[in-house]
Structures are given as C-alpha cells and as structure tokens.
A and B are shown apart, each in its own frame.
Chain A
Amino acid sequence: MSLWRLIFTNLRRHRVRTAIGAAGIALGVATMLSVVGLLSGAVRMFERILRSDAEMVVFERNVSDLFFSNVPVPLADELMKLEAVKDAQPVLFAIVAAPERPVITCFGIRASDGRLKKAKWLEGSSEDFRDDGEAIVLGERAADFLKARAGGELELGQAKYRVAGVVRTENGFENGGVFMPLAVCQKAFHKEGVASVITVAMKPGHETSEVKEWMRANHPSFSALENEEFSKSYSQFRILKTTAWVVGGCAFLLGGLSVTNTMILSVFTRIRELAVVRVCGFSRPQVARMIFGESLAISALGMLGGLALSFGGLRLLKAVPQFQGYIDPNLGWGEVGGALALAVITALLGALYPVWYAVRLKPAEALRYE
C-alpha cells in the first residue's frame, strides 16, 4: 500500500467528480495550447512573409503596425548600392475588399522579388508579372474564393485588374492574397513612392550591423532589424503572443476553480476519513501530500485530455479545406511545457484551500462530524 494507492482509490470512488475536475484542466490546457498554437502559427506565417529570402527588415520607426509604415522606395535602391547588401526589396502591404470578401491581403512587390519566383505557378508564368504591367497574380486560395482565373478580370476595391497568373505558396496569407506590381499597389492605396517595409538580403561574409550602422547614420527615422530582433520587438506580434497566453491563463483560472471545487468536495465529504488517517498516525504534511497528490493526479488526467484535445483539434482544423494555409499551428516543447507547468501550478493552487482546511482538522472533532 502506498500513498498513491490511497489517492487513486479516492479518485476512483468519485469518478464523476474526478472527471469534472480533470475536464476543467483539460479545457484549460486545450484552450491555451490551441490559442497559443494558432496565434504562434499566424505570427510565424507573417514572419515568413517578411523574411522571404532576406535577413533584415527596414521599416518606419515607432509605428504600431506595419500597415502604417511608410518607407520611401528609393531607400531600397540606396541599400542595394551598399557593399554588404545582396538584395533589397520594397514590399507594400494593404487590405482590399472584393464583392463578398471584405478582407484580402495585397502585396505590392517588384517582379524581381523572390517570393513569386519560388512559388509554384498553377496558371500563367512569372514573366506575366511585370513592374511596368497592370496585371496581378492571385494566390491559389484567393483565386478559388474569388472564382478568378488567369486571363480573366477581377474587381478589387475601386478598380478592375487583369489576372496574369495563379500561384501556390506554402504561406496561407500569401496563398489567400493578391500580388500586385508595386506601382499598381501604390496607386490603388494612395501610397505613391512608398512601401511598408524593405526586406534586405546580405552578401555572404557581411554582418547585418553594417546595414544597421549605415541606417542609423543616414536614415535615423527608420529601423533596420534582423528578423529575430524584429519578431521579438514588433508590437503586434507581442500583443498576439501576450493575448494568447492571457486567454490561456484565464482558461486555466477557470480550470483551477474546477479543481478547487472538486478538491473542496473531496475534503468535505470525507472529514471522518481524514480524521481516521490522522488517528492512524498521518502527520499534517502527509495529509497535505495526499490532497495535493489527488489534485495533481486530477491535473495529470486533465493534461492528457487537454493535449489530446488540442493536438486533435488543431489537426482537424488544419485538415478543413477552408482553413488550409491559414492555420499552421506552431506548438513547440516550450508551449507544451508552459501549458503543463501552468496545469501543475493550477493543481497546486487549486488544492491550497482544501489542504489548509484538511490539515487544520482536529481528529477528535472530525470523528464526531456527522
């Protein structure tokens, strides 16, 4: 006989109560991992859009959102002249509406931008997308929901465009977006002469610090950050990540309350039993270990359920055709470990009051308890 045997016997005796407690934790774990996974996936996809083949991103200093960043396009040409820079591509981000589709992401890019060259062309070819042209290229998903094909015409915002081709990319945002020649995009969104960002690819053997220093000296109102630095400092990413953890944390709070409720019931319904184990020589710490053990066991059950729910649910979402490309859950050991650690903390905190109550029970009084 071990303490764990006592713990599991009590959990088994009250299966429904145990299941409800575990369900609370399971929902907490599942909510946290799903939200964190989905938002991290979204952030990762957006990072990939920015990154393309580049190591750095140049954007307007102190803007809250890249959609509000205005970087003069000639700056890309200046950067190209630097010894350290292999390529500098201006990219303009915009949102446009089409009939029945209120939000479509537009990417204003140059024909020399690598992202269309790397994409798989399903219709048309990269030669059809020219800097001085008017034709646009659609991502596969966008072509699908806009019901457009190469050679056809498409109404976006206030104008109509000829569709030069349809491409398939791994990135959901790009796959569901519209690529416009930079000049066309600037005109459509009244952003003549500017881009949202300039992505910078470095020549081998050169350090990104060279570009940073040059930018600081010559264009102090713009920031040049390495991709990693950008991901960490970009406020929208930080907001998204913080939101994910806060939402998950709230779910855990509810899970914790369900554990507390379960454990309170567990203690209150066997006050005489607890008195008996005290009379049998159990110390207060041993009683505390027993209650904490029950709470941890409930939490472990919940964790397993939550992991199954979140991984199963995310896999299911990813398989839904409408979400393909948009949902790319990114759950690493860090996220899973964080959720599991929160589950353990929740279990311990949830059991605090029941443990406090149980260890303060006076055996003689508890034995008289009806």
Chain B
Amino acid sequence: MEPMIAVEDVWKSFDRGRIEVLKGIQLRVNAGEIVALCGTSGCGKSTLLNVIGGLEMAEKGRVEIAGRERKGEKERLALLRREVGFIFQLHQLVPGLTLEENCLIPALATRMSRAKARARVRELAERTGISARLDRRVRELSGGERQRGALVRALINDPPVLLADEPTGALDESNRERVFDLLLELARSAGKTLLIATHDLDLASRCDRVVRMRDGQIVSP
C-alpha cells in the first residue's frame, strides 16, 4: 500500500548548517494511521512536521504526501490549503475575531462559498462541543475551547492529513485528555492520517504507532 506520508532521507539544518536538526529521517505513515512522534524538546519533532507540511524545505531528501512531492511555492500552497491541517501547541487564534470567524480563515484562503464554509464549521463545532461558543471572541473562551476551535480550523478544508505539534501541551490535565481524545476520535471517524508530536508518552500510547526521535534521528519505527 502506498503511504500517505513518505519521508526519505530528509536532512535539515539551521544557522547555515551549523545546527543539524534532521539527520536522514526515514518515515512512512499510511492513510488513516495515527502516529505519535515522541522525543525530548529540541529533538526535531516540530521541524519534521514543518517539513512534511511544507512550511520548511528540506535541504536533502524527499517528502511525499499522497504519492506526490511538493517543491514549488504553488504546490506547497496547495498542500497547505487542501491536504494538510496544522494544530499548534498554542491555539494561534486571531484575537478580535469570533471563534467562528477564526475557523473560517482557511475557507477564506481557498475561497470556499460562505454558506458551505459556515455549514462545515457548524458541523465540526457540533462534534467538538463548541457550537454554543462560536459567536464568542477569543478572549471569552477557555483554553480547551480555544484549542478545540483550532482543531475545527484545521479540519474545515477537509485535509486528508493532520499535523499536530504538541496540541495539548498548553492545556491543564482534564482539558489535555479531552482534547487529545477528541483529536483521535475526529481523525479516526473521518479516516484522517494524523501525525502528533508529543512528549507525553501516556497520550502517545493511545495512537496506532509511536515513533521515537532523538537528536534529529528516528530511533524506533
């Protein structure tokens, strides 16, 4: 079976090559698979997610999503718009906008019709339990609600791949469990391929597979 995400011998460094962050990464994630990427801070988890999602370019190696490598600006833009949804440790919602408006930003980028976009937000908000909070501004929401909003935002364009970088890292214990479970449930029910960077081994154990990273390399499958 062709993997949804295929990373082959990817190298990435910063500071003009002085700091090597990814050293020959090999990773394959099948469609619909949920994989936890574990490792200590600074081991290269976030950089790997950024390279897979097209936010950063690998210096060497190959990254394919659904069997295609995206190299140019246009292709990487299409990747972000249609095939990959990002969730970050901090919700990164835009202050001043309502929760619903925040969720609609990716739809604005893809010029999805307003009615369709709103229907999609409402459907996802229903499933994540924030439909009653859609008209609230960011400052009026709890941490868990904000992160669930970020989850809806990542899913609005229905990307087949979700990349979550420490999605529960800034939440308290009860919210951490709920948001993580919700993420897994949404991904499983919609058949999404989910790659989660986390250093919480307990949460990671709920995923289909755990991949460990150390010092820019994958040390277990």
Chain A interface category by residue count: 20 to 34
**B110 at the A/B interface (Cβ < 8 Å)?**
yes
Question: Are A276 and B94 in contact, with the CB atoms below 8 A?
Answer: yes
Contact for A281 among B80, B88, B96, B101, CB less than 8 A: B80
Contact with B along A1-32 (1 / 0, CB 8 A): 11101100110110000000000000000000
**A212 at the A/B interface (Cβ < 8 Å)?**
no
Contact for B109 among A5, A286, A363, A367, CB less than 8 A: A286
A277 and B101 contact, Cβ closer than 8 Å, known pairs A1-B114, A10-B96, A272-B92: no
Q: Which residue of A lies closest to B101 (CB)?
A: A1
**A280 at the A/B interface (Cβ < 8 Å)?**
yes
Which DSSP category, helix, strand, loop or mixed, fits chain A's interface?
helix
A/B interface sample: 11 pairs, CB < 8 A: A1-B105, A5-B101, A6-B105, A13-B96, A278-B80, A280-B80, A281-B77, A281-B106, A282-B108, A362-B55, A364-B55
Question: Are B109 and A283 in contact, with the CB atoms below 8 A?
Answer: yes
For the A-B complex with A5-B97, A10-B96, A282-B105 known, give 16 more contacts whose Cβ atoms are closer than 8 Å. A1-B100, A1-B108, A1-B114, A3-B108, A6-B94, A6-B105, A279-B55, A279-B86, A280-B105, A280-B109, A281-B109, A281-B110, A283-B77, A362-B56, A364-B56, A367-B88
B87 CB to nearest A CB, Å = 10
B151 CB to nearest A CB, Å = 13
Q: Which residue of A lies closest to B93 (CB)?
A: A276
Question: Are B109 and A282 in contact, with the CB atoms below 8 A?
Answer: yes
Question: Are B109 and A273 in contact, with the CB atoms below 8 A?
Answer: no
**B187 at the A/B interface (Cβ < 8 Å)?**
no
Q: Which 7 A-B pairs have the closest CB atoms?
A: A281-B109, A281-B81, A1-B104, A364-B55, A280-B106, A13-B96, A9-B96
Complex Cα distance, B53 from A364, in Å, reads: 10
Complex Cα distance, B95 from A6, in Å, reads: 10
Contact for A279 among B80, B101, B114, CB less than 8 A: B80
Contacts of A273 in B (CB 8 A): 92, 94
**B50 at the A/B interface (Cβ < 8 Å)?**
yes
**B157 at the A/B interface (Cβ < 8 Å)?**
yes
Q: Which residue of A lies closest to B153 (CB)?
A: A280
Complex Cα distance, B95 from A276, in Å, reads: 12
Question: Are B157 and A281 in contact, with the CB atoms below 8 A?
Answer: yes
Name A262-289 residues within 8 Å CB distance of B.
Answer: 272-273, 276-284, 286
Complex Cα distance, B110 from A318, in Å, reads: 54
Contacts of A12 in B (CB 8 A): 96
Name B103-151 residues within 8 Å CB distance of A.
Answer: 104-110, 114, 117
Name A53-95 residues within 8 Å CB distance of B.
Answer: none
Name B32-86 residues within 8 Å CB distance of A.
Answer: 47, 50, 53, 55-56, 73, 77, 80-81, 86
Contacts of B80 in A (CB 8 A): 278-281
